[in-house]
Amino acid sequence: MAQQLAGLNRLREPRRHRAVVLDVAVALALTLLVPYTLLDPPGPAYPGPVWVAWTVGAAVGLPLLLRRRWSIPVLAWVVLVAAVATFLGIGGTGALWVAYAPAAVAAYTVANLTDRTTTAVAALVACLAAAAVTIPRFYSAHLPMGASHSEVPLWWQFELGTVAVQLSVAWAAGRVVHSRRAARTAFARHSAVEAVADERLRIARELHDILGHSMSLIAIKATVAGRLADENPEHAKAALSTIEQTSQAAMVEIRRLLGVLRPAADDPDGPALSPLPGSADLPALVERLCGPGLAADLTLTGTAGLPPSVDLAVFRIVQEALTNVVEHSEARHCRIAVRGLAGAVHVEVADDGPARAVPRRRPGGGQGLIGMRERIAVFGGTLAAGPVARGGFRVVAEIPRTEPETAS
């Protein structure tokens, strides 16, 4: 987890640097543009001192450096300065929109960063109201009546419309960016919930396979040991040895499985976890499950280099199918074949016991068959299970060699 957070911080650092550079560039550009427009507008220039023009430019431009941290206070200050300056006649005739350009940038920031729609709408209304009051006042009180030489129309309606469009477009762009970011956040949250649910399902499936196999085998071997304790002590000892090995293997697998739920910091000196079981562990599994009453032939070819999740699925399929043979059939012989093909792994487990029907406790078979189908469905594979015409029961699975997308 710490490494993931460090990785996220490394990704965020360049983005944060770009944001700072952008804020500095925008603030300096508007700080220079506003006084330049006051002193050299399309219409009559501001007749007052030059330092006043530069003061207004700094007052509306430099606060934009803090717009991401204090978006609403910065917007309020910038709009107040622009409105007061325009009301007092400190403006570039024919280009008053330049004085309100910093307000448009601040309005974009408020619309982008504010979650409450009412607050964002109120900010836009305040900006428009300030422009609607001050721009007509500027033209009626400070524009010389005889001024006709101009590069743009000197009408307050034209100026007010330009400023209104500027503010509205900037605000709308901020809301669009905000909505898209909110959608991405919601999608990420939903994906995280789905990932947690999938992980819980995976852990539940693994626990079912581990406990179901182990407890079934332990119960069977305990029964055998109890019956043969007096008549055949050697077979009873072998059954007890199988119980010991199975219980130890189950505890190791459960510790490894539940270890993913415990942060590494909780047990930094804990024992190293053994690797996940796979096709290489099948010979030991067959030897542990099969006793004097059940002979098994294992054929294992082409399984080297399987992806870990596929290798684990192969092991679990054989484990479940072989456990069903030991628990539910009276077979004397079982054949296990695992063959790695070009694009898939073929798994077949067949016994020669009396024909038995597929369990019907739930649609699709018993709990074991349901678990096998769910596991294979993750990879897009197929499973066929049922009695054989000449007797016995067979499980055939085809598992693609590629990792499932959800496992990446």
| DSSP annotation string for 254-276 | HHHHHHTTS-GGGSTTPPPPPPP
Residues 157 and 297 in one domain: no
Tell me what pLDDT residue 359 has.
56
What is the C-alpha separation between 303 and 153, in angstroms, rounded?
Answer: 81
Higher per-residue confidence, 395 vs 356? 395
Q: Let me know: does 131 contact 164? Beta carbons within 8 Å.
A: yes
The tokens describing 51, both together, are: 């330092």
Is residue 74, in this structure, part of any structural domain at all?
yes
383 lies in which domain range? 276-408
Tell me what pLDDT residue 271 has.
45
Is residue 212, in this structure, part of any structural domain at all?
no
Mean pLDDT calculated for residue range 76-80: 92
Tell me what pLDDT residue 169 has.
92
Q: Dihedral of the CA atoms 101, 106, 107, 110 (nearest 10)? A: 170
**Statement: residue 202 has pLDDT above 60:** yes
Among 50-59, 163-172, 263-272, 281-290, the minimum mean pLDDT is found in 263-272
Q: What angle do CA 266, 200, 405 make, to 5 degrees?
A: 105
CATH number of residue 303's parent domain: 3.30.565.10
Is residue 181, in this structure, part of any structural domain at all?
yes
- Taking all residues of the chain, what is their mean pLDDT, rounded to a whole number? 78
Is residue 334, in this structure, part of any structural domain at all?
yes
Tell me what pLDDT residue 8 has.
44
The tokens describing 11, both together, are: 């990704």
If one counts every other C-beta atom within 10 angstroms of the C-beta of residue 161, the result is 14
Residues 296 and 403 in one domain: yes
Model confidence at 396, in pLDDT bands (50, 70, 90)?
Answer: very high
What is the C-alpha separation between 156 and 146, in angstroms, rounded?
Answer: 16
> Per the structure, how many domains does the chain have?
2
The tokens describing 194, both together, are: 């789905």
